[in-house]
Amino acid sequence: MSKIVIISFITLLTSLIPVSVFALTALEKEQLITVRNQIFGGSTINAALTQTTISGETPPVFPYRLHDRVLMAWKIKPSDVDSFASLINLPYYLRVGKTAPLTESKFHRRFMTWLSKQKGSSFSLFSQRKQYYLLVDIAHTAGAEQGLKVEWKTFVTYQGSNETHLYRFASFKQIPGNDLLELANLSHSAISLEKSSRHIKAHLTSESGEEFNANIILGKSSTNKTFSESYLNASEKVLGPRGTLTRYYYDGSSVDARLHKININKVKVSSSLPWFRFAHTLTNVIVPKYDMAFLAQPVTQPIRTPDPSFGPAACDNPQSPASLSEQYACLVYLALGSSELEIPPADPENIFGQVFTQIPSNYQPTFYYALQDLYQGLSTFAGQAKPTLFFELQTSPKTIFINFEIRPDKVKAFKKAFLPPHFKLAKIRFYPEQRKAVYAVSLNLYLSRGANLNGVRAEWSTYVINPLEENPKPRFSVLEAQTNISGLDPSHVLGLLRSEAPPSLNDITAFIEDANDSFMYEFDEQDGIQASLKNGDDMVLSIDIAYPEQSKQLYTKTLTSWMEANDYVYWGEVADILKYDRQVMFADLLVFEVAENDVIHDTTFADYVKPKPLPIVVWLGGQSIALEPWANLEMIESK
């Protein structure tokens, strides 16, 4: 345990080495899984010991998956909104809000992106009309929650704000237990969801005998629409009664979801639920063809804690703790037990019982989800669960991409040198105004903050397609990374395991790579962009770019196809699986051409790329990213 505690103070991701292009053996795969589980599981355990979880420094995230999802929406008449809000006991600080339709075509999404840049355009008449909606969301859940679930929601805004969020006012569960907006939902409802190739039927009978029934005929083909940007933005934060809030990070299974084609006129619905009388007109029946995956992050009230640099928080007086911090420390030690003192871990039911009986109600969610995260870390350490992480990209300095086109005469050599044999090199476009897709190497410079990723980083990536994925698409593939802090990644570990004297798996610290102390990155609108680093004789980076004049600035958005490449970020064959929000998927960008006097000297892949980069891409906002590190290891076919 002591080595794991040490590990958690060191960030866990840095450079890649070309050895990763070779296929994994069964033994190497097993070793990588062991390293992953010990490092990231141990880091989560240490976050509980040092209390960075309850302080809000390392907020927990939990996997959440939906199978056979059905989402239905009805318009609420404006004249009924106040009565509806009263019936569902909407908190005083919220208002039922209008929003654009839940689905849109890709053409409409591109049109709305263009329209957002047109000031006072007459085309704004073609924007879609906003409505009040009542929603029901039905699915088999897995991960953070279990079993069939029926949720009733509407869209709301905070007083004084125009930003729309989803508000869940009622929830029915087939299996009582964890709930991301109620801590634990112990009620039991009779729920059924039957899906065939042509039909889907849903039924709910609540504990009080109220019913809901839906009979939906599924079309053979897919609709040309998917979830709208307005719906995805609103569903990032789902509010609940008593001030609860959970953030949901999504991926391409939401942004580019394939939906069954459905004739709404043939859908049959009946319900005796009290709020259903406000369901005026059925507007949407959304049935995704494939499962949907999220990472969920309950937002809780932070607790003041000791400085984690002094080590694990103390439990000096378990019978009468002096603070919430000490009370949490005592619960953590009870949950872990002590092998030295021959004290077994306490029953989790007793641990959570103390949370509900001894902790002030406004801090119960903080304790509850932090302890859930601790048990998730223990499961990861034991090889029974996959780890999760959360980090944010900062706005000072801003995140930038310097993209280099791979020379046509070097494409085959580049693929042979840096890609696993079965991977394909993919062309990519970065923003709508870029007309031509290219084979590219992207240098990404950013400052991150999070549980396992603190510091300035430079990552060189290309874009690949792994034919073995269930839904092969262009993905990021990190070829090289440098950071100003120590770290570790699967390719670095694999290189050590394949060395003549591989470290012992019992010594996790031996897999840590040293920081690059020469690395510097600065971004300033007055002084421009500067970056430099050196790593041996083969890697020299020197950047000095002037901030562009206003006439040379292009303000635009990311292409969703580029951002969907983040779903899988490969390091050789091993992939981090990422989830994100609008700050990534629908980000605002500044794009400008490199000027004649700008200096961009990068030897890293100079033998393969054109010397002059494509236009510089600057992220104007921050980014929030949740991920499952090395998450596809179990799926890789070893040789």
Mapping DSSP onto H, E and C, the string for 583-600 reads HHHCCEEEEECCCCCCEE
- 63 to 58, 249, 273, 313, 587: CA distances (angstroms): 16, 10, 30, 28, 24
pLDDT for 309 equals: 66
On whether both 479 and 431 belong to a single domain, the answer is yes
In a domain, residue 276? The reply is yes
Closest to 181 measured CA to CA, from 348, 365, 362:
365
On whether both 245 and 322 belong to a single domain, the answer is no
pLDDT for 6 equals: 30
In a domain, residue 133? The reply is yes
Q: State which residues form the domain around 486.
A: 389-635
pLDDT for 391 equals: 93
On whether both 86 and 168 belong to a single domain, the answer is yes
CATH of the domain at 400: 2.40.400
pLDDT for 108 equals: 66
CA distance 185 to 172: 9
Residue type, 377: G
Report residues of the chain scoring pLDDT below 70. Answer: 1-22, 107-128, 309, 451-452
In a domain, residue 118? The reply is no
For 533-564, write each residue's pLDDT tens digit: 999 878 999 999 999 999 999 999 999 999 99
CA distance 281 to 267: 12
pLDDT for 114 equals: 59
On whether both 50 and 68 belong to a single domain, the answer is no
On whether both 221 and 89 belong to a single domain, the answer is yes
In a domain, residue 1? The reply is no
For 423-444, write each residue's pLDDT tens digit: 999 999 999 999 999 999 999 9
Contacts of 302 (CB under 8 A, 6+ apart): 54, 55, 56, 366
Contacts of 339 (CB under 8 A, 6+ apart): none
pLDDT for 5 equals: 34
In a domain, residue 6? The reply is no
Residue type, 138: I
On whether both 287 and 348 belong to a single domain, the answer is no
Where is the domain boundary, 382, 412, 434? 382
Where is the domain boundary, 275, 299, 323? 299
In a domain, residue 537? The reply is yes
Beta strands in 322-409 (DSSP E): 389-393, 400-405
On whether both 430 and 515 belong to a single domain, the answer is yes
Q: Is-cis flag, bond preceding 397, omega within 30?
A: yes
On whether both 430 and 416 belong to a single domain, the answer is yes
Task: State the total domains in the chain.
Answer: 3
